Structure 1
Amino acid sequence: MNKTQDYELTIIIPVYNEVDNLDRVEKALTDYIPTATVKTCALFVNDGSTDGSLDKIRQICGRNAHCFFISSNENHGLSTAMKAGIDSTRSRLVGYIDSDLQTNPEDFNLLLQYTDDHQLVSGIRAHRKDTAFKRWQSRIANSFRRHMTGDTATDTGCPLKIMWTDYAQRLPFFDGMHRFLAALMTLENGRYKEVPVRHYPRTAGVSKYHLWNRLKGPFMDCFAFRWMKARYIRYTIANSNLSDNPQTQS
């Protein structure tokens, strides 16, 4: 039995070489879970860490009944780690937070207020604590993405999100998908909303992003999204006799 089915919300935490942050992550999550407005668990996704993160994750899950993990032997990147976590989730809602803790799990309660009517609720980093150069990179990337995709999301890079699990599992998978969740959700006729959340500077570990993968990757992915959007398959089954229930036959 997949233990996440006993919860309303599963928070995915992708981890790649974040051993120095994991004690803080454990405290933040175990402080938040008892105060969550819905029954909540945490799912660590170890993405091929080589720094002892997996051992630390095992220890965290061993002493916290609401914490679980899956692990890959190789590093595949953030989008793949998120997709693996989403596909492993059986709760109605699936959330996401980065293991660098530049956002606060407590702010999931702000997002949960809107999950009845929106298939994606995403944070907007208020008063960002990144460097001016990093903020400039994000502005350029977000502006170009909005122009190419037609969505109106203002901060797709915010690492605090909640989605309906059944919608999230239908989203088409490709490397870089974490930057296009709002646009992808509209392909499934889903609604999204952005909510201001707190943001903090990184205090441990090393960022996995730099100028090259912060700008080049999103620019190339926008063209891939445009290609996919034009060929995206949508269909609705109006009638069927697959069910044994006569009321559904025609």
Structure 2
Amino acid sequence: MEFSIVIPLFNEKESLPRLQKKLYKTMESISCDYEIIYIDDGSTDSSLTVLQGLKRSCSKMRIISLKKNTRKSAALLVGFKASIGKWIITIDADGQDPPEEIVKLLKFKDDFDFIMGIRKKRKDNFLRKVSSQIAKFFRWLVLKDITKDAGCSLRVFKREAIGALPLFRNFHRFLPFLVRAEEFSVKEVEIEHNQRKFGKSKYGVLERAWEGIFDLWGVFWLKKRWLNYEIKYKC
């Protein structure tokens, strides 16, 4: 299996049919061996029922439904463990990152271990965009993290790039930094960004800000205790 597409979701029943249609069309155009894994993170709407209906017309699709909402990082981890592809692709279920943009990222897979999007002309409200820029500044200040758009969920990476990483609550926000710390190569590529058509974001700005502060200092602690070594000689 070449590609595993992992999609965490929570209450996205309206977005799923459109996402699946575009995703299937994109991956079929690439002519590769792939699987699509939807992680229903304890949805309280009819997302699971919608997924079950979509699966009847797509043999490459798999569904994992969690008993309760565990948040995005945990849902991603479930998907990573269930996947079998050499490469993992992540994308949100809300449709804001167009599945067609996966092709742009795949152009760089022969030269980089981890490829991720930069949302060009981001279609989010002013407060969300400003809070992201503030978070970006503090990640650079505390961690010297050079990631331009850590909030972009469209990513393509080798399985081994995350194999030895310490995975914790909200690790997805720091994944590019952690991958770089393990000396894997990272490439950021500009992608289009859509306005959300259905529903609303599951996380408020204040909630993200408070969690981001605690997570940032947790990763700073981790960075200070990272085991670093250089091999002088071996035979």
TM bracket, shorter-chain basis: over 0.9
Tell me the CA shift for residue 199 of structure 1: 0.1
8 Å contact from structure 2 (residues 176, 186) kept in 1: yes
1:105 corresponds to: 99
1:198 pairs with 2:222: no
1:77 to 56, 71, 75: 71
**Are positions 1:59 and 2:53 aligned together?**
yes
- Verify the 8 A CA contact 1:33 1:41 in the aligned structure 2: no
The answer as to whether partners of 2:127 and 2:205 remain within 8 angstroms in 1 is no
Shift of 1:111: 0.6
TM-score by length of 2: 0.93
CA-to-partner distance for each residue in 1:61-118, whole Å, 9 max, x for gaps? 2220111122211110011111111121111100110000101111111111112222
- The 5-angstrom pairing of residues 169-188 of structure 1 reads 169-188=163-182
- 1:40 is the counterpart of 2:34: yes
Pair 1:233–1:46, CA change in 2 (3 A): farther
Identity of aligned residues (%): 32
Name whichever of 131-140 and 166-175 sits farther off. Answer: 166-175
User: Is residue 212 of structure 1 aligned with residue 173 of structure 2?
Assistant: no
Does structure 1 conserve the Cα–Cα contact (< 8 Å) formed by 2:39 and 2:79? Answer: yes
Counterparts of 1:93 and 1:204, CA distance in 2: 29
Equivalents in 1 of 2:225, 2:8: separation in Å? Answer: 30
Q: Is 1:10 aligned with 2:14? A: no
Answering whether residue 148 of structure 2 is matched by residue 148 of structure 1, we say no
Q: Which amino acid aligns with 1:77?
A: R
- Segments of 5+ residues of structure 2 without an aligned counterpart are none
Q: Is the CA contact (8 Å cut-off) linking 1:87 and 1:169 kept in structure 2?
A: no
Residues of 2 paired with 1:37 and 1:155: CA distance?
A: 29
SS of the residue aligned with 1:162?
A: strand
- The question of whether the paired residues in 2 share the 8 Å contact of 1:122 and 1:194 is answered with yes
Distance 1:169 1:62 in 2: 32
User: What one-letter code is carried by the residue in structure 2 that aligns with 1:129?
Assistant: K
The letter for the 2-side match of 1:126 is K
- In 2, distance between residues paired with 1:118 and 1:146? 22
- Two-structure CA RMSD over aligned residues (Å): 1.9
Structure 2: how far apart are the matches of 1:10 and 1:89? 6
Q: CA deviation at 1:236?
A: 9.2
Within-5 A mapping of 1:114-133 = 114-133=108-127
Per-residue CA deviations over 1:164-201 (Å, capped at 9, x if unaligned) read: 11222322111111110111102221111100000000
State whether residues 119 and 163 of structure 1, in contact with CA within 8 Å, keep that contact through their aligned partners in structure 2: yes
Structure 1 CA distance, aligned partners of 2:142 and 2:56? 45
Taking the aligned partners of 1:79 and 1:73, their CA distance within structure 2 comes to 16
The TM-score with structure 1 as length reference comes to 0.88
CA distance in structure 2 between the aligned counterparts of 1:23 and 1:88, rounded to whole angstroms: 23
Measure, in 1, the Cα distance between the counterparts of 2:196 and 2:40.
19
> Distance in 1 between the 2:118 and 2:191 partners?
6
Q: Which amino acid aligns with 1:161?
A: R
Aligned residue pair count:
234
**Residue of structure 2 equivalent to 1:136:** 130
Q: Is contact 2:40-2:48 (8 Å) kept?
A: yes
Shift of 1:232: 2.7
